[in-house]
Structure 1
Amino acid sequence: MKDVTQLHDGWSLRHDDTLLPARVPGCVHTDLLAAGVIPDPYVGQNETAIAWVGEQAWSYVTDLAHDSAHERTDLVFDGLDTAAAITLAGEPLGRTRNMHRTHRFDVTGRTGTLEVRFASAYDEAAAVRAVTGERPNVYPEPFQYVRKMACSFGWDWGPTVVTAGMWRPVRLEHWSTARIDRVRPLVTVDDATGHVEVRLRVERTGSGAGRPLTARATVAGRDTEAVFTGDGTVLRLEVPEPRLWWPRGHGGQPLYDLDVTLLDDGAVLDTWRRRIGFRTVEIDRTADAHGTGFTFVVNGVPVFARGVNWIPDDVLPSRVTPERYRARLAQAADANIDLVRVWGGGIYEDDAFYDACDELGLMVWQDFLFACAAYPEEQPLRGEVEAEARDNVVRLMPHPSLVLWNGNNENLWGFRDWDWEPGLAGDSWGEGYYLGLLPRIVAELDPTRPYTAGSPWSGSWDHHPNDTRHGTHHSWEVWNRQDYAEYRASVPRFVAEFGWQAPPALATLRRALPGEELAPDSPGMLHHQKAEDGNGKLNRGIARHFRLPEDDFDRWHYLAQVVQARAVGAGIEHWRAHWPLCAGTVVWQFNDCWPVSSWAAVDGDGRLKPLHHELRRVYADRLLTLLPGEDGPVLAVDNQSAEPWRTAVTLRLLDADGGAVREAVVPVGAAARSVARTPVPEELRPAPGSSKEFLVADADGLRAVHFPVPDKEFAYPPARYDVRVEDVPLPDGPDGPDGSDGPGRNSDGPDGRAGAVDVVVTAHTLVRDLLLQADRLAPGAVADTGLLTLLPGEEARIRVTGCGGVEAAAVRAALFSVDPA
């Protein structure tokens, strides 16, 4: 039986002729942080102070001693970031130049000093660029010349922290005769029978060459075996009537252990185990009168994808533990999300990420790692790209949550619209990867899943890559130049990116910018705003709807978060109402990799923005919406549940003081997975341009509101409400809003264990977009509710965990609402 020895201890990092303790998995930055050599790059403007780290070469050393009776010993690196030379006892073992691959070296009988020398990623990129020539990209950093996490070099939401190190596990594998090299399980369902085709490849020692070996596979109580003498075999199993894996909200997520065992004359040589799920998935790209669709079909059922884009959860990705993955993805599931797109400027995430998605019913759209740049197709990059793709397709294909391979992010669009073509003058730029190499690899290795060449992509060059009528669409004119009301101007077939910025929670800002007098344009706030003209766009977004606050950071902070939630909510409400023409929305973005003003719904410390609560509302199975229409508002009853929805909607035309002008009860019904749209009766419509009338729709605990003019033109009364606090003892639990107590991730102290309170708000006037910012009560406090609109006499109960003993006066200071202009 193969033996494995983890090599995580005993490493040192060489720095200025001294040796510092090193942690593996880890990186140079985490080791320098632990040794006190550099400050936290996430705090203040320390990012610039530690830039030198990414510009230097670094070495990791350890003493490698092993004694094994096996024929062969391999040194295995699951992830080397990025350009490394490995020596053992002063003799070269090999070189690497790809962060996203596994590397294996034969060290049988060899011991001594093991050294892994990492070149600066900048030097590696310069060497490659000298061979391939210059290519355009959207940032002044050379990320397209090195197979490394692109956002290490900074992005419009991330810092420039160029890492190096052994970021995934290192181990010795001792084996004899043969070992399992690769397992590809092709899982399909046909006529209520599950099929598992296990394609096995082995590596043999010299003594094992040509020797008959036995491979055995077991799943769901079924097993089969085969004897073979070559380098592999195929095992086939059938599972009658397997329980199907479904996206969350559509059914359960049953998982089955698939075991593969390699034997020599009955003796176990090696084993492999993964969990699989039985389900079918395809993309319906049928042409119709409106263009070309893009609809996920799971187990034969068309699905409206309620998605988010995922970026690396830390710019130092070795710090993301399985527990942190689980906590962040549980936050996604709690927001009624059912699809997570792993964006192409990051990484192929750890297996723990996909395990959690399997269990939570989160479909995974996986980008290959190309983003926002022209990528050379020459060597040495082409061979690395192919090896990387093969490695990761095989590694990830057992996961039933994985539903799509995507060739790139925005590069096909960039070639057409971002003035790349003239400068390239015929040079390669990545098209051969997206339309040639990658689809061939997917077809060869993982034919059970669909592939698309890019996002956005219209399916062919016959249409503009970002055509709303065909395939996937990225909507960025809104935010960059237009108000969010313009989302309603079109109905794309599938919206794969759209979003709006807001600052993080106040407690996150206080931790990241200690001692700073916060203002939208204070030095730290500007440093933690990476988008081009980001604050200008934030301010223009606020000013279109509200009076832009002057010298009132708290008000500005609140309004920026309100506009973010409203903007994303407006887009989803509109596009969901046009299902099945529009078959999905994928919000940019769900998470952050550090504390920053960004498009995220969960900030860099894991705290929920109001957008997260809004996603939970607009991604719920049942959504009640009032949509502006040419002839007045339209009531949309959106039912993505499996059961028909028949209800009575109370429509009320109210004046600004909350008094009823007219009301009616309207019976409505929507079949399962469908939408019903009904014009609001003329007598209940606010007068066009009225600053004193608004419309409210209520049904089954859901509410929608419609105001005919921007907030700054509406005659809001000064908000008046009472607040009382009721203690609610809760059992102790982990600190922090994401269940994590790791460094820099809401480890603020014991507040997360301090019980809970119910905040009860009783409105005496119209109170629009009431928000309790719970982190103002305690850094670890979390509210279960986002923006609320209350009518006079209504009461709302907000559960806050992590802040027991708080007084009503403190709560009132943490409450914000829309005020009169």
Structure 2
Amino acid sequence: MVTANPTTATARPLRRTTLDSVGGTAWTLSALGPVPEGWAAVGAAPVPATVPGEVHADLLAAGLIPDPFDGDHEGALAWIGRTGWSYRATFTWSGGPEDHHELVADGLDTLATVLLNGTEVARTANEHRSHRVDVGAVLVEGTNTLEVRFEAPVTGAERLAAELGDRPRAYGHPFNALRKAASQYGWDWGPDLAGAGIWKSIGLESWSGVRLAAVRPLATLEGTEGVLETHVELQWAGGAVAPVPVSVRVGTEQAEALAQPGQDSVVVVQRFADVAAWWPRGYGEQAVHDVTVELGGADATLATWSGRVGFRAVTLTTEPDPDGTGFVLAVNGEPVYVKGANWIPDDALVTRLTADTYRTGVAEAVASGMNLLRVWGGGIYESEHFYRACDEAGVLVWQDFLFACAAYSEDEPLRSEVEAEAREAVTRLSQHASLVLWNGGNENLWGYVEWGWRTPLAGRTWGDGYYTGLLPAIVAELDPRTPYSPGSPYSFMEYAHPNDHRNGTLHIWDVWNQLDYDHYRDYPARFVSEFGFQGPAAWSTLTSVVHDEPLDPYGAQMLVHQKAHEGNLKLERGLGAHLPRWPVDGDGRADMDDWHWLTSLNQARAVAFGIEHFRSFYPLNRGAVVWQLNDNWPVVSWAAVDSHGIRKPLWYALRRVYADRLATFQPRPDEHGVPVLTLVAHNDSSGVWDGELVLTRRSTGAGTPVLAEQRVPFHLDARSAVAVALDADLLAPADPRAEVLTASAEGMTTAYGYFVEDTELVLAEPDRAYEVEVAHASGGCTVTVTASALAKDLALFPDRLDAGARVDSGLVTLLAGERHTFHVTGPDVDEAALTTKPVLRSVNDVVGR
């Protein structure tokens, strides 16, 4: 038996014994209690487990369950969430000279009882925080046994909801009764796979005298001078320990303080003249600086912490003005026009995520022109891999606290868990230069005002004390240099509706749920932090998990992978007058090739329409954050990149409308208040944009002669916009169905404007509108399309031929005489199939005549 000696006066280096699988510890997983009929093999004997890991992944690796993502397995595996689970390991341990021995679990998901050598040492109830417990009185020399027993996550949530009092929420399971990622219980884009597991590292830490408890380096910029304020938290064991030095090193610069016994925090301040600042992408370099903190001296180092910081100053301006209340993020004094997306957990089984998957996700944001990702409140505080990737890429991070679409109890024991979780999250994440906004939660304030919560709540707490009291106080204490918002949406104005487009941040969901996407124009919004439109995952992604015969949008397995309420009906209604309906056979089944193409195209069109509208109101509008960048399984959803990493047409549309330089045709009232097409150009680059703007009206047919032309010299300063009135000739088509407006200038993608919807547009059929040539190229092939008439929204889907094939561009519109080359990479594919539908698609092949 090993016991602590509280009178020891010697500080000793911290010794960590890692108990992860990667460290060599062998774990097993067992079901607690009987499993349902048909799953007897799961309960027959313990199976090997991976730590960090989770139940679904371990059972899948053991071959005891089918892939939860495949077919209709999600429902068949629902029993896992109503079953308790035990993780168990034996390990050899030898005591040393240290006096304190603590079990440290960085993440237990979620309702856990921890036993060491048969003795209960801890009970936990929060996935989003770490836990530390003294086990010195329980550890033994030699072989030890550690067991973590998890209560069933679904029945556990139901039990807690009954104890705390059930409260309103957006979905069935009472996810709001405990501190576990809400989306694990299912969302309108994600599966119901509530599980359990030791999802982060676990181990033993042994120490004497004093321990480095936490490091919080806050870097900011004052003019050209960088200021680093490093907060070091200490835990002392008692006794007559001598003062201990704390040093902070940045590059070759080092500063030191002396911590007196019992002093629980030390602050070391350093100043750096003419420091290399950190900027968002598009505004400057992303300078990051390594920071090392040492407890003790070089001759007797007790503990070391390392991280990175970037020197930046962030402000959020929400001042009232004649139009309402603004929402302007600025970095180092430069207002940033936000071009962003919401980020959800990148895999429904989050422990499968790696540094590479996070870097790939952030790289997709960068490649599409984004400069901000919002970590949404129904998921997790992300891995360090995510925030480091954002630091390096210059992608701003908007971090929600983890509350989403529900009322939350402010009573104990939940309140204490929320406070501990928030303190740990702010302490861990505040070092990251990319983190520019803390946000109280997602849609909870809106929900209280408008979603009928007040009657069932009957005066009980619902979370307001978190969003307006506890959380802003924690941010002010631990990360005062980073702005805070009580929620999204939020109007920053007393007595205003939280989702008022004139004030603060706005979520636009009536468009997807009820209205045609042209209603985005109802909102000259200050800042849109959520909006979006659905479309299917890539063909190869969907068909890898949907096996209905024949394929149909309403097939049994397809509906498993369509989580939105009446989602397929909304996809069809969303076509409006913009695109034709897909053909159906005699049994009423949709032509799946056209269903997939048209719903994918319509998703891209709807979101691009919204963003072009928002940008046209710059500087009144200061940004848009589309819902959503990524998926966590194969599904019909709002994502731009599906769960297999394939870019949907939406991604290519975002790359166009998030370009630094954008021109767009928008209606603006004339002197009589009548909407007239106007060209709006937005220069969101750091340089001047000038030259000659060429505006034309042309025929959509072969030859595409110029029917009218207007040339306009223009000059746009950095971060500015201009509206250009069109000559009357441009706005007077002889045949609106067969003519198109164009706007072109150096440094921008050609803008197109139409007088009618595609359902009325006269376009040549593909064989008369364009020719296609395929040639071998390094790593794949090229597909060159040459237009002889207007070819609208050309898109190539090589994954239909091989799931590993990728293409570099999409949604390309060509005028007669123009050409575009698609670069296809990956496995060899059927070259002839690349030249025609369903692999090569365009609007021409659904409306051409």
Letter of the structure 2 residue corresponding to residue 330 of structure 1: A
CA contact (8 A) 2:28 2:87 kept: yes
Aligned pair partner of 2:700 in 633, 638, 656: 656
CA contact (8 A) 2:580 2:847 kept: no
Aligned pair partner of 1:22 in 38, 49, 58: 49
Which secondary structure state, in structure 1, belongs to the residue aligned with residue 736 of structure 2? coil
* 1:101 shift after superposition: 0.4
Aligned pair partner of 1:450 in 483, 491, 500: 483
For 1:216, the equivalent position in structure 2 comes to 247
**Greater mean deviation of Cα atoms: 321-330 or 484-493:** 484-493
For 1:350, the equivalent position in structure 2 comes to 383
Which secondary structure state, in structure 2, belongs to the residue aligned with residue 713 of structure 1? coil
Matches within 5 A, 1:687-706: 687=733, 690-700=736-746, 702-706=749-753
Aligned pair partner of 2:345 in 276, 292, 312: 312
Find out whether 1:31 has 2:58 as its counterpart.
yes
C-alpha offsets along residues 52-106 of structure 1, whole Å, 9 cap, x if unaligned? Answer: 0011000000113211313222221111000000011111111000000011122
CA 1:698–1:803 in 2, change beyond 3 Å: closer, same or farther? farther
For 1:407, the equivalent position in structure 2 comes to 440
CA contact (8 A) 1:727 1:805 kept: no
CA contact (8 A) 1:151 1:345 kept: yes
Relative to the length of structure 1, the TM-score reads 0.95
Q: Distance in 1 between matches of 2:90 and 2:319?
A: 60
Which secondary structure state, in structure 1, belongs to the residue aligned with residue 836 of structure 2? helix
Find out whether 1:258 has 2:291 as its counterpart.
yes
Which secondary structure state, in structure 2, belongs to the residue aligned with residue 382 of structure 1? helix
Q: Distance in 1 between matches of 2:413 and 2:461?
A: 14
Matches within 5 A, 1:75-94: 75-94=103-122
**Greater mean deviation of Cα atoms: 404-413 or 111-120:** 111-120
Which secondary structure state, in structure 2, belongs to the residue aligned with residue 44 of structure 1? coil
For 1:735, the equivalent position in structure 2 comes to none
Letter of the structure 2 residue corresponding to residue 651 of structure 1: L
For 1:647, the equivalent position in structure 2 comes to 691
For 2:633, the equivalent position in structure 1 comes to 594
Letter of the structure 1 residue corresponding to residue 274 of structure 2: E
Which secondary structure state, in structure 2, belongs to the residue aligned with residue 612 of structure 1? helix
C-alpha offsets along residues 587-619 of structure 1, whole Å, 9 cap, x if unaligned? Answer: 000000000000000012111001111111111
For 2:4, the equivalent position in structure 1 comes to none
Letter of the structure 1 residue corresponding to residue 715 of structure 2: G
For 1:560, the equivalent position in structure 2 comes to 599
CA 1:311–1:805 in 2, change beyond 3 Å: closer, same or farther? closer
Find out whether 1:615 has 2:659 as its counterpart.
no
Q: Distance in 2 between matches of 1:479 and 1:647?
A: 39
Q: Distance in 1 between matches of 2:814 and 2:627?
A: 29
C-alpha offsets along residues 647-706 of structure 1, whole Å, 9 cap, x if unaligned? Answer: 222211112313321123222221101111111111111449922222111222511111
CA contact (8 A) 1:258 1:275 kept: yes
For 1:637, the equivalent position in structure 2 comes to 681
For 2:71, the equivalent position in structure 1 comes to 44
CA contact (8 A) 1:213 1:265 kept: no
Letter of the structure 1 residue corresponding to residue 164 of structure 2: T
C-alpha offsets along residues 33-68 of structure 1, whole Å, 9 cap, x if unaligned? Answer: 001111111111110111100110000001132113
Q: Distance in 2 between matches of 1:344 and 1:404?
A: 13
CA contact (8 A) 1:689 1:708 kept: no
CA contact (8 A) 1:652 1:695 kept: yes
Aligned pair partner of 1:713 in 760, 767, 770: 760
* 1:420 shift after superposition: 0.7
CA contact (8 A) 1:650 1:699 kept: yes
* 1:2 shift after superposition: 2.2
CA contact (8 A) 2:794 2:813 kept: yes
CA 1:686–1:115 in 2, change beyond 3 Å: closer, same or farther? farther
Letter of the structure 2 residue corresponding to residue 395 of structure 1: R
Find out whether 1:799 has 2:823 as its counterpart.
yes
For 2:774, the equivalent position in structure 1 comes to 725
C-alpha offsets along residues 350-409 of structure 1, whole Å, 9 cap, x if unaligned? Answer: 111101000010100000000000111111110000000001100100000000000010
Q: Distance in 1 between matches of 2:607 and 2:71?
A: 29
Q: Distance in 2 between matches of 1:434 and 1:296?
A: 20
**Greater mean deviation of Cα atoms: 649-658 or 469-478:** 649-658
Which secondary structure state, in structure 2, belongs to the residue aligned with residue 440 of structure 1? helix
Letter of the structure 2 residue corresponding to residue 817 of structure 1: S
For 1:493, the equivalent position in structure 2 comes to 526
CA contact (8 A) 1:689 1:709 kept: no
CA contact (8 A) 1:285 1:294 kept: yes
Letter of the structure 1 residue corresponding to residue 677 of structure 2: P
* 1:266 shift after superposition: 3.9
For 1:747, the equivalent position in structure 2 comes to none
For 1:126, the equivalent position in structure 2 comes to 158
Q: Distance in 1 between matches of 2:465 and 2:171?
A: 23
Which secondary structure state, in structure 1, belongs to the residue aligned with residue 206 of structure 2? strand
Aligned pair partner of 1:675 in 699, 721, 724: 721
Which secondary structure state, in structure 2, belongs to the residue aligned with residue 683 of structure 1? coil
Find out whether 1:816 has 2:841 as its counterpart.
yes
For 1:790, the equivalent position in structure 2 comes to 814
Aligned pair partner of 2:551 in 518, 526, 530: 518
**Greater mean deviation of Cα atoms: 258-267 or 155-164:** 258-267
CA contact (8 A) 2:548 2:557 kept: no
CA contact (8 A) 1:75 1:172 kept: yes
For 2:256, the equivalent position in structure 1 comes to 225
Letter of the structure 2 residue corresponding to residue 510 of structure 1: T
CA contact (8 A) 1:637 1:669 kept: no
Aligned pair partner of 2:87 in 40, 57, 60: 60
* 1:108 shift after superposition: 2.7
Q: Distance in 1 between matches of 2:522 and 2:154?
A: 44
Letter of the structure 1 residue corresponding to residue 686 of structure 2: A
Q: Distance in 2 between matches of 1:675 and 1:400?
A: 29
* 1:17 shift after superposition: 5.0
| Identity in percent | 46
Which secondary structure state, in structure 2, belongs to the residue aligned with residue 682 of structure 1? coil
Q: Distance in 1 between matches of 2:549 and 2:803?
A: 17
C-alpha offsets along residues 137-184 of structure 1, whole Å, 9 cap, x if unaligned? Answer: 111111000100100110000110011001111122232322200112
Which secondary structure state, in structure 2, belongs to the residue aligned with residue 512 of structure 1? coil
C-alpha offsets along residues 686-745 of structure 1, whole Å, 9 cap, x if unaligned? Answer: 44992222211122251111111111122222233211112111xxxxxxxxxxxxxxxx
**Structure 2: gaps (5+ residues):** 1-12, 32-42, 585-590, 670-674
CA contact (8 A) 1:121 1:146 kept: no
**Greater mean deviation of Cα atoms: 442-451 or 571-580:** 571-580
CA 1:92–1:816 in 2, change beyond 3 Å: closer, same or farther? same
**Structure 1: gaps (5+ residues):** 730-754
Matches within 5 A, 1:769-780: 769-780=793-804
Q: Distance in 2 between matches of 1:397 and 1:703?
A: 42
Aligned pair partner of 1:548 in 581, 584, 604: 581
Q: Distance in 1 between matches of 2:833 and 2:221?
A: 60
For 1:7, the equivalent position in structure 2 comes to 19
For 2:131, the equivalent position in structure 1 comes to 103
CA 1:265–1:756 in 2, change beyond 3 Å: closer, same or farther? closer
For 2:35, the equivalent position in structure 1 comes to none
**Greater mean deviation of Cα atoms: 71-80 or 135-144:** 71-80
C-alpha offsets along residues 403-426 of structure 1, whole Å, 9 cap, x if unaligned? Answer: 000001000001011011122121
CA contact (8 A) 2:339 2:370 kept: yes
Relative to the length of structure 2, the TM-score reads 0.92
* 1:804 shift after superposition: 3.7
Matches within 5 A, 1:271-350: 271-350=304-383
Which secondary structure state, in structure 2, belongs to the residue aligned with residue 93 of structure 1? strand
Matches within 5 A, 1:734-773: 755-773=779-797
Which secondary structure state, in structure 2, belongs to the residue aligned with residue 61 of structure 1? strand
CA 1:706–1:688 in 2, change beyond 3 Å: closer, same or farther? farther
C-alpha offsets along residues 303-359 of structure 1, whole Å, 9 cap, x if unaligned? Answer: 101110000011111111111001111111111110000000000001111010000
Q: Distance in 2 between matches of 1:765 and 1:458?
A: 48
